[in-house]
Amino acid sequence: MCGIVAILGQDEAAPILMEALRRLEYRGYDSAGISTLYKGKLQRQREVGKLAVLSNLLVRDPIRGCIGIGHTRWATHGPATIVNAHPHHGRTVAVVHNGIIENFQEIRQELSDYQIQPSSETDTETVVLLCQYFLDQGLTPIESVQKTVSQLQGSFALVFLFEGEEDTLIAARHQSPLIVGYGENEVYLASDEIALAGLVKRITHLHDKDLVHITREKTHIIDGSGNSVERDQKAISIDLTKISKGGHKHFMAKEIYEQPKTLGRAIDKFQTYGAWLQPESVVNGLAEAERVELVGCGTANYACQVAGYWFESLAGIPASCTIASEFASRHRSPAPSTVGVFVSQSGETADTLTALRHLSQHHCKSLAILNVLTSTMSREADYVISIDAGTEVSVASTKAFTSQLNILAALAISTGYIRGHIDQERYQQLLTELTRLPGLVSVALNNDDAIKSIAKAMGHSTSVLFIGRGTMFPLALEGALKLKEISYIHAEGLASGELKHGPLALVDDNMHVVVLAPSGKLFPKIASNTEEVKARGGKILFISDSKGIEAAALGVWKSISMPDIDPILAPILYAVPLQLLAYHIAVHLGTDVDQPRNLAKSVTVE
């Protein structure tokens, strides 16, 4: 997603803007730029590609000034070119933007009626030209921004810089996050806290429709009704030292290896609420639900799909799971007795937020399971449970996924016990399995070297199938996504029972098929699906426990042995070899593991 930074300070702004933009690289981008004000005049440098390219340009041709704005662009309207890169300039005003202006074509038409022609293909440039138009009509900077923003539809976090106004930054936010950071002698704006970690100690999260006028003397916030408001200041929650690779080559590797710790924290959090039946208000709310609607995107959606099986089998609650971006088109009119469970690492995913708002309009209670508690979703949901996985920097979600599953499993188990759907013995048995998970994941990580050599042999595959049954089917989808998003190899997750209904035609002796087969009730069926693949020459990577490997791994290409676990909770544990497989294939292929092409860590546009 695009990243925004801005500073109003005492020192040269350019190096500080670049450092803050480096912290936002994890969001994903394809071009970048900064603008400053020096002796009242706007200056700008923009480049396509990584920040290093922009840095080199700034060494050759620096820009001066103690006030500036910066941006990393994740292309939505128009390709990654210098002309489309932010900041966008009018004659005397500059702007950076995160979001999508949905009515930008109408604005373009309005501008052309005023004989104003944008030079780029972006929606953002129409914003700065509209602001320029109002400035030229004699409106003040704040009036021009208010007038401009009043005409915008869609999502935006905008920061404006004005020629001749060395002591003014004006910003507006609607559905795209924006925070104010208070330093010793400077004030910042940024898309998220990571950009300001180590630079400020206190921050303010702007609310939707807020507009802020920042000078060195004061920060004046105006809400959507035009009233001056005070927003809470809070200590920044991100410790810069935690945003390091911890000796690993990539953040993804670090975050995979953090899972024994993060899984332990997620469970401790539940236990600290008392004997597993907490947070009571949430669990009781779920226990009374007639239906659970699970909503998320990407990896979070797959966590929802696994949880759908759990709520139905462990809690006896009908559960539907919908991809957030499809939610609105389902024209659902859920009964108020439906509880919406929204899963999101960032808490800023626009599609998931839209679904949450839709369910809330139908008076359904909403539970958000989040990693970032200072997010929009944490403010809009009725209940929030933190997965407490720590900052996840790599675009590919790993530790957040397993912690999401952990919390969802604990919720389904607790709810099932309260509803009497599982008895005390089964309840204790499952909770014991959850507390064993950190140790089991540590054992699973011992497969790393074996998986690394398997990855080398798979590195030149053109397509890979992942198959599983029951709760392992959504995990097959997640395994395919991990491989696709960081190695750029096509992959498909399948319900293994579906193979013979078409996809088996894809299987020949070039096709790698990853089989997820923990021992348990479904094992015989997955074993026969494995035979179907074997009979067509498919190269099977068989992931199972020792019992399963003994029973069905004869004749497979490779196998990975996993520790025993209750099969219903196996997705949490079996995610680890899939993460390692995708990681090592990507490293072998030399892709940008932590910031894969075209992707963003948090997709704040629909």
- Closest separation between CB of residue 288 and ligand AGP, Å? 27
- Closest separation between CB of residue 87 and ligand AGP, Å? 26
Measured distance CA(202)–CA(181) in Å, rounded: 6
Rounded to 5°, the CA angle 297-159-126 comes to 85
Q: Of 468 and 538, which CB lies nearer to ligand AGP in the complex structure?
A: 468
- Closest separation between CB of residue 293 and ligand AGP, Å? 16
Q: Of 493 and 520, which CB lies nearer to ligand AGP in the complex structure?
A: 493
- Closest separation between CB of residue 485 and ligand AGP, Å? 6
Catalytic residue among 482, 534, 539, 601: 601
Q: Of 160 and 583, which CB lies nearer to ligand AGP in the complex structure?
A: 583
Residue sitting closest to ligand AGP (CB): 298
The label of the residue with tokens 């972006």 reads 122
Q: Of 35 and 299, which CB lies nearer to ligand AGP in the complex structure?
A: 299
Q: Of 24 and 212, which CB lies nearer to ligand AGP in the complex structure?
A: 24
Asked if 482 contacts 578 with a C-beta cutoff of 8 angstroms, the reply is yes
Measured distance CA(371)–CA(385) in Å, rounded: 9
**CA dist list (Å): 340 to 280, 289, 292, 308, 365:** 17, 10, 6, 12, 6
Q: Is 218 a catalytic residue?
A: no
Asked if 221 contacts 169 with a C-beta cutoff of 8 angstroms, the reply is no
The label of the residue with tokens 């193979």 reads 499
Q: Of 297 and 367, which CB lies nearer to ligand AGP in the complex structure?
A: 297
Q: Report the candidate in 15, 45, 42 with the shortest Cα–Cα distance to residue 31.
A: 45
- Closest separation between CB of residue 428 and ligand AGP, Å? 31
- Closest separation between CB of residue 400 and ligand AGP, Å? 7
Measured distance CA(311)–CA(332) in Å, rounded: 20
Q: Of 35 and 345, which CB lies nearer to ligand AGP in the complex structure?
A: 345
Give the CA-trace dihedral at 317, 323, 324, 328, to 10 degrees: -90
Residue partners of 186: CB distance under 8 A and separation at least 6: 7, 8, 9, 10, 11
Measured distance CA(59)–CA(430) in Å, rounded: 59
Q: For residue 9, which phi and psi values (nearest 5 degrees)?
A: -140, -155
Measured distance CA(212)–CA(196) in Å, rounded: 18
Measured distance CA(415)–CA(196) in Å, rounded: 40
Q: Is 601 a catalytic residue?
A: yes
Q: For residue 214, which phi and psi values (nearest 5 degrees)?
A: -110, 125
User: Do strands 211-214 and 219-222 pair parallel, antiparallel, or not at all (unpaired)?
Assistant: antiparallel
DSSP states of 514-556 as a string?
Answer: EEE--SSTTHHHHHHHHHHHHTTT-EEEEEEEHHHHHHH-TT-
Amino acid at 282: V
- Closest separation between CB of residue 53 and ligand AGP, Å? 24
Catalytic residue among 2, 66, 131, 364: 2
- Closest separation between CB of residue 348 and ligand AGP, Å? 7
Q: Of 219 and 346, which CB lies nearer to ligand AGP in the complex structure?
A: 346
Length of the chain: 606
What residue ranges bind ligand AGP (CB under 6 A)? 297-300, 344-346, 349, 352, 395-397, 485, 602-603
Q: Which residues are catalytic?
A: 2, 601
